[in-house]
């Protein structure tokens, strides 16, 4: 920006100096000629000539200066990549429309998966994609609304006047539909999605442009959390939830520093012998008032705030340390999508294995499909490094979302865990039973081990075994328990195998 200003100023100066100099020479020559003919005196002719040149130069300078200023002003309000108006222009437009007492609606559009394309194909293709998306949005807006680029992969669409919100929502739905189809760049067909947040201010409303933008931003993040490729209207609840989330974030930081987390372990048993073959670590948060909080409550907040990296590493270290006492069985540790996306994670994993001395081939990381859907390339890269250590990877909660046979083939998990909902429903309807059976068949064909999760009844256990599951996990056999209880269960099993009479607690 500074360079453009300097170049413009120099050009402006030359444009003024050159004509002014020429004019001054021409007028002085003319006046001198008149003076020689004796019509006016020499000083008067020089004075008139000088004044004339000064007035002409001033007028010229003023006009050129104004033009340049206008151009600079325009440059400051335009995005250089797409030539769309930018964030400054957006604020100015909203303020103007609001001053006229109009209803204003604002959509914030964030492209899904743009970073992946930028990383994979480079910035040249990334820039082209942004330009193409800009053209698509402008086309969809037509004369109805105005499109802005706010930076990166973020666009905004503003609409003012009667029914602004309704019309804008229609445009946004059209955009999501259009972006569900690929965009052709050279010989590539690239697919990006869009997460959109909407907010509006009624006619005469007092919300400023910054607040409107913030609300659309909050709603956009709700769209992202909700699974992307959707529009969400801002609601005051979002702010209330954010407040309670931010309170929990502070508490989680405190909990980590004060060691309020504990790890319990739920055994996985062999489907035939019912012996314990593995233990899954499940983190719990015991608040200072003694209240235990389940991972389903705090893990999502930890994921959103990035605290999951520190908590996850703490759990991994704790679990590897505890499981050193259980030599015959596998240790399963749950890993969040955010952890898998963190390039530091494989390094930290290697460090923990070395530090604790836990054998990598006895460790299994459980990941859910969210890790893979959001960022398949990054996940694949991390999984490759993790496997190089000899650690196995298991796909958790299979049957709850989109994870397909394609996923199983692409990522080549060593193990698959059928979600509790699938196991329960398989006992109740034929469709779910068929899905469970076909999932096990495919997994088996791909040489994957299969665990049935959440088994609570004998019927479910029999069904899981006959379907071909080799491991079962559920309250029918064991609930999650502290580490020392796993040790005693394993000792009991070992004693039974050896035919040693069991020593009851309290006996010396």
Residues of the shown chain interacting with Mg ion in the complex, contacts defined by CB under 5 A: 334, 366, 396-397, 453
Work out how close the CB of 127 gets to ligand C2E at its nearest, in angstroms, rounded to a whole number: 36
Q: List all residues 6 or more positions away from 342 whose beta carbon is below 8 Å from its beta carbon.
A: 309
Selected from 475, 482, 492, 500, the binder of ligand C2E by CB under 6 A is 475
CA distance 448 to 369: 16
Work out how close the CB of 395 gets to ligand C2E at its nearest, in angstroms, rounded to a whole number: 11
**In this structure, are strands 183-185 and 261-270 parallel, antiparallel, or unpaired?**
unpaired
- Residue 126 binds which one of ligand C2E, Mg ion, none, with CB within 5 to 8 A depending on kind? none
- Residue 315 binds which one of ligand C2E, Mg ion, none, with CB within 5 to 8 A depending on kind? ligand C2E
Work out how close the CB of 290 gets to ligand C2E at its nearest, in angstroms, rounded to a whole number: 18
Asked if 84 contacts 149 with a C-beta cutoff of 8 angstroms, the reply is yes
Work out how close the CB of 353 gets to ligand C2E at its nearest, in angstroms, rounded to a whole number: 17
Nearer to Mg ion among residue 396 and residue 493 (C-beta): 396
Considering the rule CB under 6 A, would residue 283 count as an interface residue with ligand C2E?
yes
**DSSP letters along 81-148, please?**
TT--B-HHHHHHHHHHHHHTT--EEEEEEEEETHHHHHHHH-HHHHHHHHHHHHHHHHHHHTTT-EEE
Considering the rule CB under 6 A, would residue 472 count as an interface residue with ligand C2E?
no
Nearer to ligand C2E among residue 111 and residue 452 (C-beta): 452
Q: List all residues 6 or more positions away from 424 whose beta carbon is below 8 Å from its beta carbon.
A: 454, 460
Nearer to ligand C2E among residue 169 and residue 397 (C-beta): 397
- The count of C-alpha atoms lying within 13 angstroms of the C-alpha of 274, restricted to the half-sphere facing its C-beta, is 10
Asked if 82 contacts 149 with a C-beta cutoff of 8 angstroms, the reply is yes
Interacting positions 310-369 with ligand C2E (CB under 6 A): 312, 315, 334-336, 366
How many of the chain's residues bind ligand C2E (CB under 6 A)? 25
Nearer to Mg ion among residue 176 and residue 440 (C-beta): 440
Asked if 464 contacts 302 with a C-beta cutoff of 8 angstroms, the reply is no
Nearer to Mg ion among residue 110 and residue 396 (C-beta): 396
Interacting positions 398-437 with ligand C2E (CB under 6 A): 420
Considering the rule CB under 6 A, would residue 86 count as an interface residue with ligand C2E?
no
Q: Which two tokens stand for residue 81?
A: 């990549």
Selected from 94, 150, 299, 320, the binder of ligand C2E by CB under 6 A is 299
- Residue 336 binds which one of Mg ion, ligand C2E, none, with CB within 5 to 8 A depending on kind? ligand C2E
Nearer to Mg ion among residue 238 and residue 477 (C-beta): 477
User: Residues 115, 118, 120, CA angle at the centre, nearest 5°?
Assistant: 105
Nearer to ligand C2E among residue 389 and residue 477 (C-beta): 477
CA distance 279 to 189: 44
Nearer to ligand C2E among residue 176 and residue 299 (C-beta): 299
Asked if 263 contacts 284 with a C-beta cutoff of 8 angstroms, the reply is yes
Interacting positions 129-168 with ligand C2E (CB under 6 A): none
What ranges make up the beta strands (E) of 212-357?
231-233, 261-270, 276-286, 292-293, 330-335
Selected from 50, 205, 295, 401, the binder of ligand C2E by CB under 6 A is 295
Asked if 271 contacts 470 with a C-beta cutoff of 8 angstroms, the reply is yes
Q: How far is CA 466 from CA 372, 423, 429, 443, in A?
A: 30, 12, 16, 15
Nearer to ligand C2E among residue 235 and residue 305 (C-beta): 305
Provide the β-strand partners of residue 423.
Answer: none
Work out how close the CB of 481 gets to Mg ion at its nearest, in angstroms, rounded to a whole number: 16
Q: How far is CA 97 from CA 90, 94, 171, 197, 202, in A?
A: 11, 5, 19, 20, 11
Interacting positions 360-399 with ligand C2E (CB under 6 A): 366, 396-397
Q: Helix 236-257 and helix 295-305: axis angle, to 10°?
A: 100
Q: List all residues 6 or more positions away from 499 whose beta carbon is below 8 Å from its beta carbon.
A: none
Selected from 3, 206, 258, 296, the binder of ligand C2E by CB under 6 A is 296
- The count of C-alpha atoms lying within 13 angstroms of the C-alpha of 191, restricted to the half-sphere facing its C-beta, is 6
Nearer to ligand C2E among residue 126 and residue 474 (C-beta): 474
Q: Using CB under 6 A, which of the segments 80-88, 92-100, 248-256, 454-462 binds ligand C2E?
A: 454-462
Work out how close the CB of 319 gets to ligand C2E at its nearest, in angstroms, rounded to a whole number: 8
Q: How many helices (H) and strands (E) does the chain have?
A: 19, 16
Selected from 362, 369, 474, 493, the binder of ligand C2E by CB under 6 A is 474
CA distance 176 to 198: 13
- Residue 157 binds which one of Mg ion, ligand C2E, none, with CB within 5 to 8 A depending on kind? none
The residue with tokens 């075994």 is: 465
Q: Using CB under 6 A, which of the segments 2-10, 87-95, 178-186, 280-288 binds ligand C2E?
A: 280-288
List residues near ligand C2E by CB under 6 A: 266, 281-283, 294-296, 299, 312, 315, 334-336, 366, 396-397, 420, 453-456, 473-475, 480
């Amino acid at each position: 920006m500074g360079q453009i200003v300097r170049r413009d100023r120099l050009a402006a100066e030359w444009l003024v100096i050159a004509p002014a100099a020429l004019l001054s020479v021409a007028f002085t020559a003319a006046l001198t000629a008149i003076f020689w003919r004796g019509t006016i005196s020499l000083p008067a002719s020089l004075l008139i000539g000088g004044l004339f040149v000064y007035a002409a130069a001033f007028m010229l300078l003023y006009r050129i200066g104004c033009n340049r200023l206008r151009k600079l002003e325009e440059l400051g309000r335009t995005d250089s990549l797409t030539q769309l108006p930018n964030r400054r222009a957006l604020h100015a437009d909203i303020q103007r429309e609001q001053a006229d007492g109009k209803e204003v609606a604002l959509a914030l559009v964030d492209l899904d998966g743009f970073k992946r394309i930028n990383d994979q194909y480079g910035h040249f293709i990334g820039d082209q994609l942004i330009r193409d998306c800009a053209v698509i949005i402008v086309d969809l807006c037509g004369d109805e609304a105005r499109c802005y680029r706010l930076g990166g992969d973020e666009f905004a669409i503003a609409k003012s006047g009667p029914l602004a919100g309704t019309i804008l929502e229609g445009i946004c739905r059209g955009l999501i539909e259009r972006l569900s189809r690929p965009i052709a760049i050279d010989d590539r067909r690239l697919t990006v999605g869009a997460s959109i947040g909407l907010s509006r201010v009624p006619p005469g409303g007092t919300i400023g442009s910054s607040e409107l933008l913030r609300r659309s931003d909050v709603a956009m993040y709700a769209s992202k959390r909700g699974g992307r490729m959707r529009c969400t209207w801002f609601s005051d609840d979002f702010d209330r939830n954010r407040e309670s989330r931010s309170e929990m974030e502070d508490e989680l930081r405190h909990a980590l520093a004060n060691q309020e987390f504990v790890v319990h372990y739920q055994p996985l048993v062999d489907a035939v012998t019912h012996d314990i073959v593995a233990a899954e670590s499940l983190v719990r948060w015991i608040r200072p008032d003694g209240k235990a909080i389940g991972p389903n409550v705090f893990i999502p907040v930890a994921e959103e705030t990035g605290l999951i990296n520190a908590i996850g590493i703490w759990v991994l270290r704790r679990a590897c340390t505890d499981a050193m006492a259980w030599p015959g069985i596998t240790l399963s540790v749950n890993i969040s999508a955010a952890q898998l996306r963190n390039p530091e994670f494989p390094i930290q994993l290697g460090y923990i294995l070395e530090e604790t001395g836990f054998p990598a081939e006895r460790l299994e990381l459980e990941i859910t499909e969210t890790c893979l859907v959001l960022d398949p390339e990054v996940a694949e890269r991390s999984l490759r490094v993790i496997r190089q250590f000899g650690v196995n990877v298991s796909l958790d909660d299979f049957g709850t979302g989109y994870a397909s046979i394609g996923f199983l083939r692409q990522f080549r998990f060593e193990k698959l865990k059928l979600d509790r909902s699938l196991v329960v429903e398989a006992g109740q309807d034929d469709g779910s039973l068929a899905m469970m059976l076909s999932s096990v068949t495919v997994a088996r064909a791909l040489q994957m081990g299969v665990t049935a999760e959440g088994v609570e009844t004998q019927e479910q256990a029999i069904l899981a075994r006959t379907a071909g599951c080799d491991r079962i996990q559920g309250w029918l056999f064991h609930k999650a328990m502290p580490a020392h209880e796993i040790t005693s269960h394993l000792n009991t099993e070992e004693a039974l195998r050896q035919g040693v009479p069991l020593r009851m607690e309290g006996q010396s």
